[in-house]
Structure 1
C-alpha cells in the first residue's frame, strides 16, 4: 500500500512547493541560499555550486526568528522577525500537516509549529501557495477513496503464451574514487608522499571490496532471475507447483488498498482453478472525505453518506474479483476456467462461532474473459461485468448483500465438459 512520490511545483519566483509522503513543504528565497529554523535559532547557509565551499552563520543572535534584519535591542514578535527575514531575501521552510479532523498546523523543518503571528506572515507571503499545499493534502487524504473505487482498472488482459517481465539489478555499480594527485609538498617531503600513497591504496582496497560485494549480489540476483524466467515461461505450463508460485508471487505484488486475502486450488489437469477471496469488513472503509474551502485556507471534513459507502464497498468487492481473474488468465496460460467466490468473516447467529458469509460466486471461462474491452476499464462497472458470467449473488442496487451458497466444484467440472 505504500506510495512514495516527490513533486516540485513552481508557483512564483523564489517560491516553490515540495510534496512528499511525509508532508508538503514550501521554500521561499533565492537559489543557493537556505535558512534552517529550529529551537536553537535561525541559521543562514550559503554555498558556491561546484566548489564544495559553504558558509553558515547564526542569524538571530539576539533570539527569535530575526534573520538578516538590522539588530535591535528592542524585542520584536516572532511574526515581525520572520517578515523582516523574508523582506531581506531570506529563506523559510514550512510544512503543512492536516489531521483527520481537518485541522492543520504549519511547522518548520525541525517540527516546531509556527505561532499565530508567523502563520499570518506565511499566509501573506505564501498566498495561493498555502492553498495549493492544503489542496494537495486533501487529495492525499482522499486517495484511499479513489483507490478503493478503481482497483479493477489495472486488470490484465488474457494471454495464451507465457509472459515474463525481466527486472534489472536495482543496485548501481560502485564507482572508483579518483586517486589523490601528488602535491608539491608530497613531492619534496617523503612522509607526505607515503601518506598520499597509503590513502590511494586504501581507496583502491575499499573499491575492490565494494565491487566484489556488488558483483556477488548481482550474480545472486541474476540467478534468481534465471530461475524465475524458467518458472514463468516453461514450468508454468506443466508444473502445478510452479503455477501456484507464479500466481502467488504476482498476487502478492498488487498494492491492495485494503487487506485482502486470496486462496486458490488448481485442478489436477492445470485447466481449472478455484479461488476464495476474503474481503475486508465494510466498517474498514473510510467514512469521511476532505475538501478545501472555496476562499479560506480551511479544510472541511464531510461525512460520507451510508449509501455511497455501501456503493464503494460493492465496487471494491467486485473489482477485486476482476483483478484476480486478470492475473489468472494473464499469468497461467493453461487455465481455461476459473471459479471465484468472495466472502467476509461473520458470526453464526445460532452458535456465536466464527463463520464466513459468501457474497457472490462467479464462474468465468477464458473465452468469455476475452470479450472485455481492457482498453476501457475506466468506463466499466465491476458489478455489471460479473453479471455477464454465471453468477450466484443476492444484492440490492446500493450494495446490500445477503449471504449465498457459493458455486461448487461440480460447476467447474460442468464448465470444463
Structure 2
C-alpha cells in the first residue's frame, strides 16, 4: 500500500492541457473510488476530492516479484500515469529568443525523458498551444499594420450612446423564520431577531451607498449627454474636451501623441501627430515549425519593417480624421501633419522631422467606403486629398515642410 500525489498542472489562468492515453481533455483528477484494470493488474483507487491525494492498492499481485522493485525514471512514471488513465497538464511558454519551455505547475521544467512522453501522447495539443503563443507574440505586427480598421464614418448630427450603471442593486436577505425552539426559548428567539435586524441594517447601508453611486453616475451621464449633443455644436471648449476624451481612449499599439487646435469658427481644426520612431517597431517574427514543437525566430526584413511603419504612420492619420469628423459635426476642414523625433545631422540636437501633411474636407472624407476598410491602404487613401509627402515606393520618408494653417482657409 502507498499514498501517491497526482499533479494538476495549469497552462494559464483558466486554461489547462490534460494528457492521457485517450487524448487531451479537461484537467480533472480522479474523484471518489474506482477500479482500474489493465495488463499490469487490477488496482483500486480511493481519492480525496480537491486535495490531489489518492490511495492505491494492487489486488492481483504476482508471486516471485522482488518486494523492492527499482523505482521508475521520471519519464516512465509519467507514461505509467497516462496509461492508467490519470491526467496531467503542462505549462507551455515561448521566450523572446524562441526557446520553448515546458514546465509543471510550480515552474519546474520536465526532463528530457518526460518531454518525450509528453510529445508522444499530446504532441498536437502542445503544438496548438505553441501556435497560440506565437500568435500572441506576433499580435503586435498585426495591430501596427491595421490601426486604421476602426476608423469611424463622418456624421452631421451628434449621437449620444449612454451607458447603464454597472453596479447591480443590493438584494435583501430573506429573514430567518422562527422555529419551534425559538418560540419556546427566549434566548434563541432573541438571537434570531438580532440576526434579522443585522441583515436589515446591512441591506439599508448597502442600498443607500448603491443609490448614491447611481445618482452620481446618472448625473455624469446627463452632463456627458449635454456635452456631446448640445455644447459640442457651439462651444469650443466642449469640442476640445469631447475630442480629447475619445482620442485618449484609443489603444495605440505604440506611444503616439496627438495635439490639436480648433479654429475660431468651430469649422476647422489643425492636428499634429508625434509618431514613434521606426526603431521602436518589432524586428522579429515567431513561427511554429512544420511538424515539431519548436519555434523559430525570424528576422523581419528591413523592407517589410519600413512598410509596416508606413502603414502605421498613415493609419494613425485616418483614425484621427475619423474621430474628428465623427465626434465634431461642425468641423468641415482638417489639417493633419505627422512628424517623428530625430537628431539634427548638423548639430546632433533633437528635432522634429515631418513625414507628411494633408488637408482633408468633410465631403472628400465621405467618399471613403468605411464598410470596406480592410481593403484600403492608408498611404494610398491619403493621396486622394491635398497631400505633401516625400516617400519612396519602399516606404522611406524624406523630411517635408508641413502646410501652414492658412491652408485650412483655401
Provide the TM-score with structure 1 as the length reference: 0.82
Partner residue, 1:39? none
349-358 or 194-203, larger mean C-alpha shift: 194-203
Over 3 Å counting, the alpha-carbon distance change for 1:56 and 1:334 in structure 2 is closer
What is the root-mean-square deviation in Å for CA atoms of aligned residues? Answer: 2.8
1:265 aligns with 2:261: yes
Distance in 2 separating the partners of 1:152 and 1:358:
20
CA displacement at 1:114 relative to structure 2? 3.2
Q: Is the 8 A contact 2:17 2:25 kept in 1?
A: no
Q: Is the 8 A contact 1:24 1:137 kept in 2?
A: no
CA displacement at 1:180 relative to structure 2? 4.6
Distance in 1 separating the partners of 2:195 and 2:82:
45
Over 3 Å counting, the alpha-carbon distance change for 1:79 and 1:179 in structure 2 is farther
Equivalent position SS for 1:376: helix
Partner residue, 1:83? 79
1:277 aligns with 2:273: yes
289-298 or 115-124, larger mean C-alpha shift: 115-124
The equivalences for 1:253-332 within 5 A come to: 253-332=249-328
Equivalent position SS for 2:230: helix
Partner residue, 1:410? 406
Q: Is the 8 A contact 2:27 2:88 kept in 1?
A: no
Partner residue, 1:59? 53
Q: 1:383-413 deviations in whole A, cap 9, x for unaligned?
A: 1000010000000011100010000011112
1:367 aligns with 2:358: no
Partner residue, 2:39? none
1:334 aligns with 2:325: no
CA displacement at 1:85 relative to structure 2? 3.5
Equivalent position SS for 1:76: coil
Q: Is the 8 A contact 2:104 2:110 kept in 1?
A: yes
1:167 aligns with 2:163: yes
Give 1:99's match in structure 2, choosing from 81, 92, 95: 95
Distance in 1 separating the partners of 2:172 and 2:25:
31
Give 1:228's match in structure 2, choosing from 184, 207, 224: 224
Q: 1:171-195 deviations in whole A, cap 9, x for unaligned?
A: 2333344445556665665444444
Q: Is the 8 A contact 1:343 1:359 kept in 2?
A: yes
205-214 or 360-369, larger mean C-alpha shift: 205-214
Which one has the largest radius of gyration?
2
> Where do 5+ consecutive residues of structure 1 fail to align?
1-16, 36-43, 47-53, 61-66
Q: Is the 8 A contact 1:395 1:401 kept in 2?
A: yes
Partner residue, 1:25? 16
Equivalent position SS for 1:127: helix
The number of aligned residues is 376
Distance in 2 separating the partners of 1:355 and 1:375:
39
Q: Is the 8 A contact 1:262 1:278 kept in 2?
A: yes
Q: Is the 8 A contact 1:24 1:96 kept in 2?
A: no
Over 3 Å counting, the alpha-carbon distance change for 1:98 and 1:191 in structure 2 is farther
Distance in 1 separating the partners of 2:276 and 2:168:
40
